Each structure stands twice: as structure tokens, then as C-alpha cells.
Amino acid sequence: MRSVHLCCLGVLVCLGLAAAEPLQPVATLRPARGFIDDAFLLSPDGDTLYFVVTDGATFAELRAAAWAGQGAPSDRLIADGLPVTTTGLLLLSGDRILVVASDPEGGRKTGHVYALSKPAPGAVRVGPATDIVLSTVRGAPALMVVTIPDGGQGEHRFQAIDAATLRTLADRRYRSEVGGLRAGAALVRPLFWIDHYQTLVGKLPGDYDRKNDIRQPDRLALLETLSGRIRSTLPIQDPAGLAEGAQLFAGHPGQSLFVAHDPEGGRLELVRFADGQVIRRVLRMPRPLSFYDPATLRYQALGADRLLVSLTVDPVHEAAVRQRRRDADIIDLCLVDVQDAAVRCVGEIPGKERPTNWTAVPGTLALLRKHRGFSRGGTELEVYRLDTGAGR
């Protein structure tokens, strides 16, 4: 059995894709000054939007907007004096939010905790670290604060912080040695990180067989980064396939599941790690993949078993050029079932010839119309309701 599977069945289940309905925004938000930065998120019920307004140089503030029905939502100030290098927001338990900013020189991330109920300075600082993500540890929401040195040489640190109490749940460090990371008596050579960095997928060198004077094949090891325990070891059935899968995961650190564009194969793939194997399933969007601009690929998990995926039509794709036409830059939104790679289209939004970014929760999507010719932020946030029910 190969450790990397290319399953064409993902194409077959999607041959009957129904046309998606054009979506209309239920609310549109425009800042009174500055622009809306790329850091924004929705509350779990989809009724409140948290976002950062900045001019990119002199000020940055955290605001919240709520809406009821159609029209412009009302917004309020949560906190001002944020770093102008803010890059992300994470909603914590207990009416708090984590504002994540990046060091423009070193690339490290630092988080500051703010209360949502009233304007207040961030009293708790997290990091600096290579990455800060929200996960689940011991059955409860927690922050994973991860430091991985450049080039993999140096101390690796994995810290879990309770999202409600902000107390440290675990803090483990690993020493880098020639050949891998030291985990007790074992030396694990890292391949990639999954489960929000809670699992390292790596290689264990094969044991030396003194009787026959040979070394046994390397084995795959799953190391729990917060405990230092090797959860399991498995034989490597397909070394070449594992290496190919590791390259894919290297571009998505900490993720166990993602969508990737394969330019050589001309495929869109759902990639996940399960049962010690890298599993790749081909996805079919409502239009031929060649119609889309692959740089516009976006995806986000909606629970454990579904992903929301979007691609934007390239107005001057090859087929359009051959027919001397210019297509509309439509954003196609589709739900992907993780288990069988089935695709269901849930709507389309006009691109309006501007780059976009979005975030979503079940039933709601917030889309940022970004600046033309400037990669950061935009002037409009639109809120859409989506049919993300379980049916297909």
C-alpha cells in the first residue's frame, strides 16, 4: 500500500455540481478613517465582526461591529494603540481576544490579550514565537505557542496556554542534535508538524542488526510535542511518496488538513494526514480548474469534517483569450466533505476586479475587498449568509 494515494474518485462524486446562486451582502462596513487591515474574524454565531482599522503607520485600533438584518452595522472601539504590524486575531474564552503582531525584521509573532467588554490595554503578553495558533488541549480551547529555529537548528519550544484562564498547561523544549530532535532516548528527524504543532511526524533511524551486520529500515514516528512521548511508530511503505507528502506539509506547518493546487498535474487536492499516511484526494470545482487564478485559492475549516474553499475566475484565462472574450472575475465558494472529498457549491460573489480575503463560521462569511496595487488591507468588509447545512 502506498503512503500517498491519488484518488480520482473525488472527481467522480462532483460531476453533478449544481450551479451556485449569486450572493448578496447582508451588511457592508466602511471605516471612518484609515483602512480595514487583514486581521478580522467573526464571532461563533456569525453576528459580530472583530476587525483592525489602521493607516499602516501611525495608528491601529481594534473594533467590533454587530448587525441585525440589512444595512450598515454599528461598530465600537475595543482597544487602541495596537501595533501597526498586527497580522491576526484569535477569539479566546472569557470575553477576551488575542491580537497577534509580527516583528517586521525577525518575523516572530507576539500576542496581546484584550477584553472585549470595554476598551482596555492588553495586560497579558504571549510570545514572541514562530507561530501562535488556537487549538484544543486536554479537551479545552488553548493557545499553542511554538518556537522553531530557522533551519531547524537550535532549541524547539512548544507551549500550551489555557484560552480561558491563560495559565500554562504544558511547556516543553527539545534540543536539536545532529540527526534530529532529542526526545528521551530517541532521536527523531523532523518531517512536518500537524495537529496545530501538537504532533511531529518524523523518522526514527532503524536499529542496527549486529548478527547480520545491517541496519534496519527507518520507521515513521509520531511524537507528541507537549509530552515528549512517541505515540506510535510505523513502517515506511513508500519513502518517495512520503518525501513528496512532506514537501506539501512543509508549506502548511501545523496543519493536518489543507487544500493545495498541483500545477504540474493540473489538480486541486484535499491533503490530510491520517493513520500514518499522507492522503490526497482530487477536488472538482464548478468550473474547469484552468479557468481560475490559482493564487486566489482560500480555504478554512468549518468544524472537523468540512472545509469552505474559494477560487476566483481569471478573466483572461487561456480559454477566454482563445475565444477573444473576457470573463467576469467570479468568486466560487464550495463546501468540501473531508471524508469523501465531495464538493457542494454554496454561492458565488463578484470579484469586482479587486483582491479579496475572507473568514467564515458556519452560516456566515465576511469578505474584505482589498486595495488594488497594495497588498495590505482594504476599504470594505461585506457580510454574507451561507447555506452551510449538512445536506449536499
Cα gap 285→335, rounded to integer Å? 10
Give the Cα separation of 57 and 85 in Å (integer): 9
Is the pLDDT score of 318 beyond 60?
Answer: yes
What mean pLDDT, rounded, does the chain reach?
88
Task: Give the separation between CA 98 and CA 119, rounded to whole angstroms.
Answer: 14
pLDDT at 209: 66
User: With 70 as the cut, is the pLDDT of residue 189 above it?
Assistant: yes
pLDDT at residue 271 greater than cutoff 70: yes
Task: Give the N- to C-terminal CA distance of the chain in Å, as an integer.
Answer: 31
* Residue 287 pLDDT level (bands cut at 50, 70, 90): very high
What is the C-alpha to C-alpha distance for residues 16 and 23, in angstroms, rounded to an integer?
21
Least confidently predicted of 169-183, 230-244, 331-345, 355-369: 230-244
The yes-or-no verdict on residue 68 having pLDDT over 50 is yes
**Reported pTM:** 0.88
d(CA 66, CA 76): 9
What are the DSSP calls for 252-266, one per residue? STT-SEEEEEETTTT
What is the rounded average pLDDT of the residues 210-236?
A: 87
Residue 8: pLDDT over 70: no
Query: Domains in the chain and their CATH numbers?
Result: 4-385 (2.130.10.10)
Q: How does residue 35 score in pLDDT terms, banded at 50, 70 and 90?
A: very high
Q: Assess whether pLDDT exceeds 50 at residue 388.
A: yes
